Structure 1
Amino acid sequence: MSEGDLQAIYLTLKLASLTTLSLLVICVPCAYWLARSRHGVKPLIETLVTLPLVLPPTVIGYYFLVLFSPNQGLGLWLNEVLGVQLVFSFSGIFLSSVIYSLPFTFRPLQSAFEQLPTDLYQAGSLLGFSPVKQFFLILLPTIKPTLLTAATLSFAHTIGEFGVILMIGGNIPGETQVVSLAIFDHVESLDLQAADSLAGLMLVFSFVTVFVCQWWQRQSTQMNELASTALRGQCD
C-alpha cells in the first residue's frame, strides 16, 4: 500500500472520528428534546434533518460550494474577517460531513427516546431524580446500544462519502483526499491492484459495521425491557 493510500486512510479515519463525536454532542440533546416536543415546528425540523438522506450528495456539495465560496457572501466574510476558507480544505469537508451524516445519528436517537417506556420517566420522578439526573442516570444508559449504533452508522457513512467531499473539498492528497476518492483515482489511472486493496478494505469494514449494528439493535430491545422491569420493581 502506497504512502498516498495510507494518508487517505488516516485522513478518512480522522474525518469520520471528528464527525461522529460532533454529531453525538449535537444530536443527543436535540433528539431528546424533539422526541418529547409537541411543538408545531417539529415536522419541519424532522424534514430538514432527514433531507440529506434523499438529496443527491452532489447537490448538497454544490450548495456548500456556493455558500462557502471565498469570492462571495458568507464564504467571503469568513475569509476576510476570520481568515477561514472552507472550500478545498479539511474544515470544509468536516462541516459538510456533519450535515450529510446528521440523519444517521439523529433519527435513531430520536426513535430510541420516543420508544422509551413512560414507566422510565415516571420511575425517575418517583425516585426523586431531577430532569438532568434522570437524563444521565436512567435514559442515556437505557439507550446505550442505540447510541453505539448511531455512532457506528455515522462513522461508517462518513468513511464512504464521495460526492459531497469531491464537490467542496476537491481531491487534494493529504488535505481532502479520502479513501473513496483514492479508489476513484486508482481506477482512473488503471491501477486496479491498488483499487482492489482499498475497495476490499472498505468491503470488510462495511460488512462488520452492518453486523455489529444489527447485534446492538437486538441488545437495545432487551435492555429497554430489563430497565423498565427493574425500575418498576424499585418503585413498587
Structure 2
Amino acid sequence: MSDHDWLAIFLTLRLAGLTTLILLVIATPLAWWMANTPWRGKPVIEALVALPLVLPPTVLGFYLLIAFAPSSPLAQFWLSLTGENLAFSFSALVIASVLYSLPFVVQPLQSGFQQVPKALLETAASLGAGRLDRFISIVVPLCRSNFLVAITLGFAHTVGEFGVVLMIGGNIPGRTQVLSIALYDRVESLQYSAAHWLAGGLIAFSFIVLCWVYRLNRYRGLELGNSHLPKAQA
C-alpha cells in the first residue's frame, strides 16, 4: 500500500474515533429522554433521529454542502471561530459523520434504557440517590453491553461512510480522503491491486464487527433473561 493509503487509514480511524466520542456525549442523554419521556410527539423525534437509516447519503451530503458553503451563516460563524473554511475540511467530515451515524448509537442505547427495571431506580431514589448517581450506578452497569454495541456500530458505520463524506469532503489526500474514498479513487484509476487490499481490509473489518455485535447481543439476551428470572410473571 502507498503512503496515501496509510494516510487514508489513519484519517479514517481518527474520524471514526472522534465521531464515536461525540456521539456518546450527544446520544446518551437523547436516548435516555426517548426511552423515558411520555411526550406524545416522541415519534417525530424518533423519526428524525432514524432518518439517516433510510435517507440516501447523497441527499444529506447535498444539504450539508449547502449549509457549509462559504456564504452561509454557519460557514461564516465557523470561519470567524476557527479561521478555516468549513466545506471540504476534516471538521465538516466530523459534523456529517455525527449526523449520519446518530441512529446507530441512539437506538441500541434507547433499547437498553427501556429495559432497565423502574423499580430499581425508584428504590435508589427512595434511598436518597440523585439522578446522576442512579444513572451511573444502576443504568450504566445494566446497559454496558448496549453501550458496547452502540460504540461498535457508531465506529464501524463511520468507517464505511462514502456518499456523505464525498459530497462535503471531496477527495483531498491527508485531509478528507478517508478509506472508502481512497478505495473509490484506486478503482477509478485502475489500481486494482491496491483496491483489493483496501476492499479486503474493509470486508474483514466489517465481518469482525458483526460477529462482535451478535456476540454482545447474545450475551445481553442471556444477561437480561437471568436478571428477570425472579419476575417471570411480569
Give the TM-score category using the shorter length: over 0.9
Q: Give yes or no for the alignment of 1:87 onto 2:87.
A: yes
Single out whichever of 121-130 and 162-171 deviates more from structure 2: 121-130
Deviation at residue 206 of structure 1 after TM alignment:
0.3
Deviation at residue 228 of structure 1 after TM alignment:
5.3
Single out whichever of 106-115 and 194-203 deviates more from structure 2: 106-115
Aligned alpha-carbon RMSD (Å): 1.8
| Post-superposition CA distance 1:135-167 (Å, at most 9, x none) | 100111100001000110010000000000000
Partner of 1:134: 134
| Post-superposition CA distance 1:49-68 (Å, at most 9, x none) | 01111110001000000011
Q: Percent identity?
A: 48
Q: Whole-Å Cα distance in 2 between the matches of residues 144 and 158 of structure 1?
A: 21
The answer for unaligned runs of 5 or more in structure 2 is none
Equivalent positions of 1:173-188 (< 5 A) are 173-188=173-188
Deviation at residue 213 of structure 1 after TM alignment:
0.2
How many positions carry a matched residue from both structures?
A: 231
Q: Give yes or no for the alignment of 1:38 onto 2:22.
A: no
Q: Whole-Å Cα distance in 1 between the matches of residues 127 and 220 of structure 2?
A: 24
Equivalent positions of 1:150-189 (< 5 A) are 150-189=150-189
Question: Are the aligned partners of 1:113 and 1:143 in contact in 2 as well (CA < 8 Å)?
Answer: yes
Deviation at residue 98 of structure 1 after TM alignment:
0.3
Single out whichever of 73-82 and 85-94 deviates more from structure 2: 73-82
What TM-score comes out, normalization by structure 1 length?
0.92
Deviation at residue 173 of structure 1 after TM alignment:
0.2
Q: Whole-Å Cα distance in 2 between the matches of residues 152 and 144 of structure 1?
A: 12
Deviation at residue 37 of structure 1 after TM alignment:
0.3
| Post-superposition CA distance 1:162-208 (Å, at most 9, x none) | 00000000010000000100110110111100000010000000000
Question: Are the aligned partners of 1:34 and 1:42 in contact in 2 as well (CA < 8 Å)?
Answer: yes
SS at structure 2 position matched to 1:53 = helix
